[in-house]
Structure 1
Amino acid sequence: MGQGEEEAFPCTSRNMEEPLGPQDEEASSHTEVPGYPDKRTHRRVLGKRCGPYLAYILVVVVVLALAAALPVQSAGRHEGCPTLVLACPDDWVGYRKVCYYLSNEEGSWEWSQEWCSSHGASLAVLQREWEMEFLLRLKGNTDVWLGLQRQGERLEWVDGSSFNQRIPVQGQEPCLFLKDHDLWSSSCSKQRPYVCSKASVLMGTT
């Protein structure tokens, strides 16, 4: 065997039997396969391709979370806050934005008007047809004072407006009350129940 052959044989044997060192393993693990990128290159490619989509998905999730939270926060801000509505005081009856009070006690016409005035109202003034119809239901069979007086030859409501309804008026006394479906007059000192009226006001409710 020649010298060149003896030198070649040990080299081939040593390459086959010696274990791979750390550098050799690292080099081997990153050996590139033709036509297939290594792992680091693959991750970079995925990041470039998927990055915009992930950002878009994240923005959508944040927007949906904020949209779901806004109604809850809004409800929390308004919880316990009063709501303003047209209403009437206790013991008063509301109808078409007007509050009415039907008394249980009796009094003269002047005393009744003073009591109504002390509660921000007046003896009931009837200017529209529906007001008469409502009062007839409210009073039932009770005869009640109204805010109507005789001033000389004409009738005048307590708010200064003239009586212009086609309702029969019985008698010539100075103060008028509602009896059945007609208006009757009598002495102002006569004791009888009364009806007050005033506009409904804004009140807070929770």
Structure 2
Amino acid sequence: MIILASGSPRRRDLLLQIGASFRVVVSDAAEESGDALPPEELTVRNASAKAMAVAAQQPDFPVLGADTVVSLDGHIYGKPGGREDAVRMLSELSGRTHQVTTGIALAVGGRVFTDAAVTEVRFAPLSEVEILAYVESGEPLDKAGAYAIQGKAAVFVESLHGSFSNVVGLPLHAVARLAGKAGVNLYDHYGKGPTG
């Protein structure tokens, strides 16, 4: 069994999808933000901080931390600060290809194993009406880059190159590969879902 150091329902659902054995303990680690670091470095640092904060309280279990950002032309887009910010973000992503980066960290027995996944996502050109209607739905307000690919924003995506689950918030192949490297079994009770 592992501990997921995230309150994200999307990450929880993705681990459920693959039948991982886990429980959730939300990390209180502070997250870095901004454009000072490249997306891969920023997300790995945040994921590591989350995993280590929970591992300090739960030393007997492997702890998985994750952090996802959207970036375009070197600028990092986190969660929007409100409706106007969401409109601005979506307007800037419209008709362009951006990157979604998720850093992952697995804290095991005092060691931290890390990786990052990058997916290229191309948005169709979006009209002001489409953007405003989407923002009014409320869906983008707590999502990096102001959209949820697994939700209503799926219609905005012309193409995608890389891991789909990464764009949702957790690159499952990378997580499985990292668990193998760390000697962690994600499937103690294979197919039975979370244990608490």
TM above 0.5, yes or no, is no
- So what's the TM-score if we normalise by structure 1? 0.18
- So what's the TM-score if we normalise by structure 2? 0.19
Q: Radius of gyration: which is bigger?
A: 1
